[in-house]
């Protein structure tokens, strides 16, 4: 038993001693590595001048740029700009920073201000913010062969020259220009790296746009003081039509179709037809002004202007169509009244009998609006000379219809009845002609308009959507081998 306990104590002691030795060796190795890294930093920076570019008397420094697009934050159409959050990688070769390849230097912000790096600016930036969450979001890595990488995380608001000719079926192309600020192409050349641009599709979703692709260009430009290198990433953004379809197109189509209801309303219902037409016109104008608030005022014609102007043309046309129909109706009535005014005054009862007319009372004059016009006769009162309408009984055979007779008044009573008849004549006969004389032209115009307006609006829709709907866009750099870039709208 004592031997067993002795063996256990010996094994335990050996294990404790092994752990202490291992820990001591690890600490020694770590201390040695830390001292090596520190000495490397001191050795690399010893005599290093960060104010001088690499190979100052040699070829230009080639800087390779890669961008990781963290998010597309929004597009402000009124101010013509858009916002992104991106991490920019800048890589170049500095032979002054080469060292033994057995050691790797970790990324550090310590070298940001202690090594030379290119002064690259975003040419079309309005605002640039370097993130300082917990610490400054930038660092430098140095490889053993002298390749240096500067990484910075930025939030940028960039200007975008937008074109609204096809709004709201438009496709905007917004640029991000990375260019040298002080060094010309003889000292610094900017190039896109292997990755160029990396982004994840779920970070690129916007309420009204799809990011459908990115193109890359060389935007090197010559100024009065030299040629400056520049590279450009162009984002192609296609507007989604859902919002404007619900807020603009469908309501305006409904308003135009409601304006056609007036073609089925009686021509005598002037308040209904005019009131409906004016209300629809004001509604279309109100919708037009509401949509235009989303974009800055521009001097050229937009697709939405073409749409609303055409809709306004159709609803105003429906109102003008009623004005024409009403005018033709009144014109026909006045023409018939003029014909009646030229009937000669007849003095003999025989001539009145030949016309099939006779004296009538006030009750007989007010009857025509309730009796078919085929059984109405017109006569001139021999006492007062006024034209009056009397009703005749419908013929029982093919004989000439006989007028309805009442007891003919005489003397003052006849004169009073004649004057009252003349007054009632102006109201009853005029109303009768307006009620019963629906001209053939009026009915035909309304009937034609029902088809003409609907077919015309359908043809306009076909032409409008065929012209303004965007065509399929394929960015030139999208291939199946690209690893991080979305290839189509469906992937976004």
Q: What pLDDT band is residue 284 in, cutting at 50, 70 and 90? A: very high
- Tell me the mean pLDDT in the region 12-17: 69
Question: DSSP string of 130-154?
Answer: E--SSS-SEEEEE-TTSEEEEEEEE
Task: Check whether 103 has a pLDDT greater than 80.
Answer: no
Tokens 């094994």 found at: 11
Contact 183, 119 (CB under 8 A): yes
Q: What pLDDT band is residue 405 in, cutting at 50, 70 and 90? A: very low
Q: Which of 278-287, 341-350, 478-487 has the lowest mean pLDDT?
A: 478-487
Q: Where are the domains of the chain?
A: 61-240, 244-337+441-468, 343-436
Query: Is the pTM value of this prediction over 0.85?
Result: no
Contact 377, 356 (CB under 8 A): yes
Interior CA angle at 155 toward 151 and 156, to 5°? 110
Fold match, 61-240 / 244-337+441-468: no
- Tell me the mean pLDDT in the region 420-425: 49
Task: Check whether 430 has a pLDDT greater than 50.
Answer: no
Rg (C-alpha) for the chain, rounded Å, is 47
Domain 61-240: CATH superfamily is Neurotransmitter-gated ion-channel ligand-binding domain (2.70.170.10)
> Where does residue 74 fall: left (phi above 0), alpha (psi -120 to 50 degrees), or beta otherwise?
left
Q: Which pLDDT belongs to residue 312?
A: 95
CATH number of 244-337+441-468: 1.20.58.390
Q: Which pLDDT belongs to residue 150?
A: 95
Q: Which residues pair with 117 in a beta bridge?
A: none
The overall average pLDDT reported for the chain is 76
């Amino acid at each position: 038993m004592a031997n067993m306990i002795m063996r256990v104590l010996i094994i335990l002691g050996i294990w404790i001693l092994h752990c202490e030795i291992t820990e001591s060796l690890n600490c020694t190795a770590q201390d040695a590595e830390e001292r090596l890294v520190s000495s490397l930093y001191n050795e690399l920076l010893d005599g290093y001048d960060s104010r001088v570019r690499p190979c100052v008397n040699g070829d230009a420094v080639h800087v390779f740029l890669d961008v990781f697009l963290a998010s597309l934050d929004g597009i402000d159409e009124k101010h013509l700009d858009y916002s992104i959050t991106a991490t920019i990688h800048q890589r170049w070769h500095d032979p002054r920073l080469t060292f033994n390849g057995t050691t790797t230097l970790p990324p550090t912000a310590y070298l940001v201000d202690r090594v030379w790096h290119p002064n690259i600016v975003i040419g079309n930036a309005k605002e640039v913010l370097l993130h300082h969450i917990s610490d400054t979001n930038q660092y430098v890595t140095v490889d053993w062969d002298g390749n240096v990488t500067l990484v910075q995380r930025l939030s940028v608001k960039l200007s975008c020259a937008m074109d609204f000719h096809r709004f709201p079926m438009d496709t905007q192309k917004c640029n991000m220009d990375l260019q040298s600020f002080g060094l010309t192409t003889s000292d610094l050349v900017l190039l896109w790296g292997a990755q160029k641009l990396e982004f994840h599709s779920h970070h690129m979703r916007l309420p009204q746009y799809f990011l459908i692709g990115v193109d890359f260009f060389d935007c090197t430009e010559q100024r009065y003081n030299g040629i400056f290198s520049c590279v450009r990433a162009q984002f192609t953004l296609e507007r989604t039509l859902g919002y404007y379809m619900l807020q603009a197109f469908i309501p305006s189509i409904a308003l135009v179709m409601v304006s056609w209801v007036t073609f089925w309303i009686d021509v005598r219902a002037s308040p209904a037809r005019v009131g409906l037409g004016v209300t629809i016109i004001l509604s279309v104008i109100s919708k037009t002004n509401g949509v235009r608030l989303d974009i800055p005022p521009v001097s050229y014609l937009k697709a939405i202007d073409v749409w609303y102007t055409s809709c306004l043309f159709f609803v105003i046309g429906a109102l003008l169509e009623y004005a024409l129909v009403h005018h033709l109706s009144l014109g026909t009535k006045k023409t018939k009244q003029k014909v009646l005014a030229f009937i000669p005054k007849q003095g003999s009862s025989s001539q009145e009998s030949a016309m099939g007319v006779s004296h009538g009372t006030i009750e007989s004059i007010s009857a025509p609006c309730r009796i078919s016009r085929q059984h109405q006769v017109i006569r001139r009162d021999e006492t007062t000379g006024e034209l009056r309408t009397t009703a005749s009984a419908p013929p029982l055979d093919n004989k000439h219809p006989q007028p309805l007779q009442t007891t003919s008044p005489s003397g003052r009573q006849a004169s009073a009845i004649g004057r009252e008849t003349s007054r009632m004549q102006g109201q009853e006969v005029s109303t009768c002609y307006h009620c019963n004389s629906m001209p053939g032209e009026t009915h035909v115009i309304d009937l034609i308009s029902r088809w003409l307006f609907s077919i015309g609006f359908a043809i306009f829709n076909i032409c409008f959507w065929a012209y303004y709907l965007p065509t399929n866009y394929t960015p030139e750099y999208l291939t199946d081998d690209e690893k991080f870039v979305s290839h189509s709208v469906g992937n976004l």
